[in-house]
Chain A
């Protein structure tokens, strides 16, 4: 039993089921991120936790209490909306204390809570302004302030950073993380941005098509994705997926792939659980940062394969150089150090960190784990 338990929850609109038997559990103080592409059901799930959408079947419990059918205001939650949803006719101060006022908290107490939160978020000078007079970042702070004043069991964030410009988004992201470290309140955070998910969370639920594809820590999600969807959705640039064949040599599994000249190359697997797949096709997953120049390769890795191949395109991105090369007739992205001497059209010795390689079953698209 966790602090927030979502057990066997489904959601249907008429005959259409949009969430299928979702099971998620989070401990007190955890930062749970629901991430997925548009229409995956993550916002619907958040609204169900908030009580803004009805639960078709299953249970949601917060702090040991099943909250199905409980009014949103009685769940002891606070929500930060994508559009901030600040009341335009009220000042910042009134916005932030509206919830307390509705719950019958006396004025002196409201003022004390307001002052405390305003100081924490450094918005004291804004308290008498109307939301229309604030910048995007300030509105974002006020929206968070309104949630903080309530001192709830769970904070719900619905894509709170998607309306900010790129730089501010990064700043606010850090700030939310700091805030969580300080307050240690349980947070459920919805986003479609996989970087936000990886940087903020202590636990991620990757969703697609109304199913939870994988629930785990950021490291589990990134290093051992449960299936092709999770592998390609999390991480930027996306993980390279290559059609390969398992070949056993002296009892050790190798992946057979083809380079740009259609010559077979063999990469030794680190995991030895692929013996059963001898001679069968698999999908090989390699993250761009696992394909580097020999000098940039991970020195702690015990399994670096060297492979020469033709360079198609180079994209210097300042901190890194992204290189496209062709294996198995597919464009593969490699991530090299910024000042690697590499030219399109030439051949280059790539270093492939096979410790980080993942193998998938081409039929089910699930990771081959045991």
Chain B
């Protein structure tokens, strides 16, 4: 036998390999096509879109549509651009994600390390909240928010998202901490650490991966939510509602370039979160499933 023949389990010739890569490349390009269209058209003057090819690169590059989408585009009756909506979204998303993650982590810690009678039933009930369709709770939620005096405000939206997100964050942390050795908690108890000290000093330092998962999931969901924003936003609507109002407006000229720019702006934060923390995402999802 010659030594240069590799007899591995996966034997692929050079040609098959090239074909595989080619197909993968085509798929990737196809997947990137919408982004390409949005990006190129958002830096074109409007005439180039209405008068010609959507797929062509811009002849005159302009940043005007972006500026317009951000600060001067007519949304509803006000020429405010997306900016106030974007700020609303940030003011809503950051506290909602933070509160939900902290509560989920505490829930997971209690449900795995401070077991009590009926804890599995409680956890099962909390999981239910992951499966309740948004539409069902709209009217009861509106009534609750009204009674709390929170309707049409950012704190109201935060409350709605915390209530909805807590099921997911609890699920994540519970499953993560279930794989965390209970002996460590017991050792810390003997060492004299209390409830919060054990959480803070022993569990939290190793919770990085699952926190990334929880934050990405919650951030994406809350940022992209439209229904709650449109229903309970009142005067402080999030960016998804702003974008909708901009694109759906039925008077005047349809400024496609501005719409494209606005759509990218609205999607930017979630994209950023993925780029920054994405590689921890898969790691965190896998954590606990495989011993190692």
Contacts and interface: CB of A to CB of B under 8 A. Distances in A.
Interface stretch (A97-105, A208-216, A276-284): A97-105
B184 A87 contact: yes
Interface string B165-191: 000000000000000010110111111
A99 B193 CA distance: 8
A98 B190 contact: no
Nearest to A52: B186
Contact of A88 (B183, B189, B206): B206
B183 A85 contact: yes
B191 A99 contact: yes
Interface string A55-78: 000000000000000011110011
A224 interface: no
Nearest to A74: B192
B37 interface: no
B192 A102 contact: yes
Interface of A: 50-52, 71-74, 77-79, 81-83, 85-89, 98-99, 102-103, 146
A73 B190 contact: yes
B283 interface: no
Interface residues of B, number: 16
Given A72-B186, A86-B184, 7 more contacts: A50-B190, A78-B190, A79-B190, A83-B183, A87-B184, A88-B184, A98-B193
A87 B200 CA distance: 12
Nearest to B181: A83
A41 B29 CA distance: 63
Q: Most chain-A CB neighbours within 10 Å: which of B186, B191, B202?
A: B191
B183 A102 contact: no
A216 to B, nearest CB: 29
B205 interface: yes
Contact of A52 (B181, B189, B201, B206): B189
B197 interface: yes
A50 B183 CA distance: 12
A89 B183 contact: no
A67 to B, nearest CB: 13
A73 B187 CA distance: 10
Contacts of A86: 184
Contact of B190 (A77, A83, A87, A88): A77
Contacts of A74: 192
A217 B181 CA distance: 35
Contact of B187 (A51, A79, A103): A79
Contacts of A52: 186, 189-190
A87 B186 CA distance: 11
Contact of A98 (B181, B186, B191): B191
A73 B183 contact: no
A71 B192 CA distance: 9
Given A79-B187, A85-B187, A89-B206, A73 B192 contact: yes
B183 A82 contact: yes
B206 A99 contact: no
Contacts of B192: 73-74, 99, 102-103
B178 to A, nearest CB: 16
Q: Which 9 A-B pairs have the closest CB atoms?
A: A73-B192, A99-B191, A102-B192, A89-B205, A85-B187, A85-B183, A72-B190, A81-B183, A85-B184
